[in-house]
Amino acid sequence: MARNYEEKCKLCRREGDKLFLKGDRCYSDKCPVAKKKFIKNRSMKISEYGIQLREKQKIKRYYGVLERQFRVYFERALHIREGLTGENLLTLLESRLDNTIYRMKLAKSRNQARQFVLHGMIAVNGKKVNIPSYQVNVNDIISLTIQGERNKSLIENIEQNQGTKPDAEWLYFDYDKKEGNIIRIPTRADVPQNFREQLVVELYSK
């Protein structure tokens, strides 16, 4: 599986924004983006193409996908008849299984969520799924496999969240039963990051 092995904090600094790529560290005082103010050189004029490219890179890195895969998502969003292409693109990315596991707070980062899925710790509708890009659908049941039940990190994450609920309104997880479900398909309003997805549409439309 292709992956981006660049240092995570460097990616956030490059985009000048928190992309929440390192779990708890992103919410602590140790976060380099929070500790330092990265001031852009005002004398450097960024072209329209450059602005569009940076926005695309920011979304790619936030969800942990590479260029070829991102382009596939865009083509799929382009052929969805209802809604805006940019919003459909974010909906497809948000509906990835690894992002779903992260939103359910079963993992501290999307990278950790991806590892849980790859190592066969997550089941969808009772069947093990080891594909991070798997698209979840309404009423899908998310649970742990035998491997997941034995994983210390995954169980610790679940125990830490007992008595709470996922931050995302489009899904549900019972931390006592270790089982959840997809209530509805996520919308643009469910993406907390302030992306300008229309710039990506303009970039690919050239």
Q: Are residues 162 and 138 in the same domain?
A: yes
Same domain? 84 vs 149:
no
Mean of the pLDDT values across residues 160-173? 94
Q: Provide the pLDDT for residue 46.
A: 85
pLDDT of 3 above 60: no
The answer to the question of residue 3 being in a domain is no
Is the same domain home to 103 and 156? Answer: yes
Domain range enclosing 152 = 96-182
Query: Are the C-beta atoms of 181 and 141 separated by less than 8 Å?
Result: yes
Report the predicted TM-score, pTM, of the whole model to 2 decimal places.
0.80
pLDDT bracket for residue 37 (50, 70, 90): low
Highest mean pLDDT among 11-15, 25-29, 75-79: 75-79
> Does 187 reside within a domain?
no
pLDDT digits (tens, 9 = 90+) for 134-158: 999 999 999 999 999 999 999 999 9
